[in-house]
Amino acid sequence: MKFKKALFDACVELVQEKDFKHITINEVLGRADLNRGIFYLHFADKYDMMDSFENEMIEKIEAWAREYTLADSAKEHFIFMNFHK
């Protein structure tokens, strides 16, 4: 979703300027050029938004790990089969 990337990018920029606990939803929305309606349609508050970002990152890392593990398993199987001809 495009708006989530805009929110995430805005948060990253703002966190570089000040502590997250001092960042307001209005600041995030202003930086992302989004309105409050879309925010509250998807999130309860800024902590809910951050939980969503964290969960999304964890899912991406887990998917990458599964793919990497499968690729390694396939490579090891190929090496084993070629070695034991």
Give 22-78 pLDDT, tens digit per residue: 999 999 999 999 999 999 999 999 999 999 999 988 998 888 877 766 656 666 655
Asked whether the beta carbons of 74 and 32 are under 8 A apart, the reply is no
Give the whole-angstrom CA distance, residue 67 versus residue 81: 21
Whether the full predicted model's pTM is greater than 0.75, yes or no, is no
